[in-house]
Amino acid sequence: MDAETVDLLVIGGGMAGLSAAASVAAEGGTVVLVEKAERTGGSARFAGFVWTTPTIEEMRRVNPDGDPELATALVDGFADGVAWIRSLGVECRPPVPVLGFGRGHQVDTNHYLDTCERLIRDRGQEVLTDTWTRALVADDGVVKGAECVLPDGSLRRIEATWTLLATGGFQGDPDLRAEHVHQQAAGIGLRANPHSRGDGLELGRSMGAAFGKKDAGFYGHLMPAGVSLADPARFVDLALYYSEHALLFDTTGERFVDETIGDHLTAMALLERPEARGLLVADARVHREWISASYVEGIPGVDKFQLCHRAGARSAVADSLEDFASMPEEWGYPGATIRDRVEEFNAAVRANAATAPGRLLDRLPLDEPPFYVVEAAPAITFTFSGLLIDAEARVRSADSGGAGPIPGLLAAGADAGGLYRRAYAGGLAPALVFGLAAARTALAGAPASASR
């Protein structure tokens, strides 16, 4: 296949890349997929739900600053994405609520990813693993493929009508996290595969791609501070989803965010606090109803506190709020201040008075002993900043102010930015929807020439 020009070259074999490549192959198109890891799948192998908001109105409510064109394309394309998964014989379980505002399906993502790869190979197309993309190639402003380094070190030039960047974002690179997310982000945990280190960002920008806003944020969760995330099984097991029903204090002993906005957003807020760490405080009611309960319907509940404690996290059970005054000095928190703030919070919610910060949901006191304390820190799954695209997954040019596309260049998944800005409504769903959009664009024919 070296000599011919394929319809689509896919750089990155995660959810977006495999979806695009398999869709092109299923329609009889020609495709080469290049993945730098030894196995395809990326961080999608650690996920299990495909979901987003059920309506555009709800998307606008939870993600008001995101690109409206991309948001509409995601919501409108979600049902077709689910239908595509099912068409491959992969089960999508009945829809359930997610995060209170979303709707989605539990999916065996490993089955889906492996089925996509098998379809590509069965249609006579190529999947190259352990292969690094050195550079994109272009002719008169039109991207024409890439130069790739094969496992044996040899160089292969792959000619393509369209090239899709789907390398998974840049969350695996501490320096890029510090530059584009927050200066403290260099040291936070990674709850994703380690290979997504900005390859797509670098390749796209070498062609003049527009890049999203630096303050877009990231998707992640609060995790027990200081606990290794080297084992991917811990990505979900140790995620402190129950934080929306607890109280979170920074190292000054103060609350700084409405915890009920959701653990994924609280993680972004904690990143910007001193030392990017905090104490999560819950009582017996929260332990009973949330810490030990199922986070999403269909997923068995586990006692998150016990898991964190056994993993070596800084944690404690206090018999009373008075015990907070005896908090170990080496923890670095003013325990008496935290005790006072919990008591003040309890008094305010009992009186139906305002709290600072506010408390939109779960306005119940934390007054049933014992009290469960875990030190938390943000961990990143994927970045929101990325190469700007349109609804057809075409990468926008920086020279045109982000208005016009770079001919021949596509992006999807976490390589694509603009959809979310300090908000989140699903990660697998955008990768699926815009991966399939990239496939449709590639199958529609050659791009228009570069604008003069």
Interval 117-138: pLDDT, tens: 999 999 999 999 999 999 999 9
Structure-block tokens of residue 205: 């920008």
**Contacts (Cβ under 8 Å, ≥6 apart) of 167:** 11, 12, 14, 36, 195, 196, 198, 199, 200, 203, 413, 415
- The predicted pLDDT at position 297 comes to 63
- Cα torsion angle, 135, 140, 143, 148, sign: negative
- The predicted pLDDT at position 133 comes to 98
Q: Which of 272, 292, 291 is nearest to 280 (CA)?
A: 291
Alpha-carbon 319 to chain mean position:
37
Q: Per residue in 10-27, pLDDT tens? A: 999 999 999 999 999 999
The terminus-to-terminus CA distance of the chain in angstroms comes to: 32
CA distance 11 to 200: 8
Q: Per residue in 331-347, pLDDT tens? A: 999 999 999 999 999 99
Confidence of residue 348 (pLDDT cuts 50, 70, 90): very high
Q: Per residue in 228-253, pLDDT tens? A: 999 998 998 999 999 999 999 999 99
- The predicted pLDDT at position 298 comes to 64
3 state DSSP class of 180: helix
Contact between 204 and 362 under an 8 Å Cβ cutoff? The reply is: no
DSSP 8-state code for residue 169: -
CA distance 206 to 141: 12
- Could you give the count of Cα atoms lying within 13 Å of 370 in the half-sphere of its Cβ? 8
Whether residue 2 is predicted with pLDDT greater than 90 in this model: the reply is no
Q: What percent of the chain has pLDDT over 70?
A: 96
Residue that has been written with the tokens 């908001």 in this structure? 53
The DSSP code sequence of 74-105 is: HHHHHHHHHHHHHHTT--BPPPEEETTTEEEE
Q: Convert 108-129 into a string of H (helix), E (strand) and C (coil).
A: CHHHHHHHHHHHHHHCCCEEEC
Sequence letter at residue 132: W
Q: Convert 6-55 into a string of H (helix), E (strand) and C (coil).
A: EEEEEECCCHHHHHHHHHHHHCCCCEEEECCCCCCCHHHHHCCEEEECCC
Contact between 427 and 381 under an 8 Å Cβ cutoff? The reply is: yes
Least confident range from 49-63, 135-149, 387-401: namely 387-401
Q: Per residue in 275-331, pLDDT tens? A: 999 999 999 999 999 999 876 666 677 899 999 999 999 999 999 999 999 999 999
Confidence of residue 3 (pLDDT cuts 50, 70, 90): low
Structure-block tokens of residue 168: 């998974």
Whether residue 452 is predicted with pLDDT greater than 60 in this model: the reply is no
The neighbour count for residue 225, using CB atoms within 10 Å, is 24
Q: Phi, psi at residue 342, to the nearest 5°?
A: -65, -45
Contact between 32 and 126 under an 8 Å Cβ cutoff? The reply is: yes
- The predicted pLDDT at position 296 comes to 62
Q: Per residue in 26-80, pLDDT tens? A: 999 999 999 999 999 999 999 999 999 999 999 999 999 999 999 999 999 999 9
Position with higher pLDDT, 94 vs 215: 94
- The predicted pLDDT at position 295 comes to 65
CA distance 144 to 203: 13
Q: Which of 232, 214, 242 is nearest to 381 (CA)?
A: 232
Q: Per residue in 171-222, pLDDT tens? A: 999 999 999 999 999 999 999 999 999 999 999 999 999 998 878 999 999 9
Q: E-strand spans in 129-253?
A: 132-139, 142-149, 155-165, 189-190, 218-224, 247-249
Q: Is the pTM of this model over 0.85?
A: yes
CA distance 308 to 375: 9
Burial 68-78, CB ≥16 within 10 A → b, else e: eebbebbbebb
Q: What domains appear along the chain, each with residue ranges and CATH number?
A: 6-215+384-443 (3.50.50.60), 219-380 (3.90.700.10)
Whether residue 442 is predicted with pLDDT greater than 70 in this model: the reply is yes
Average pLDDT of the chain is: 95
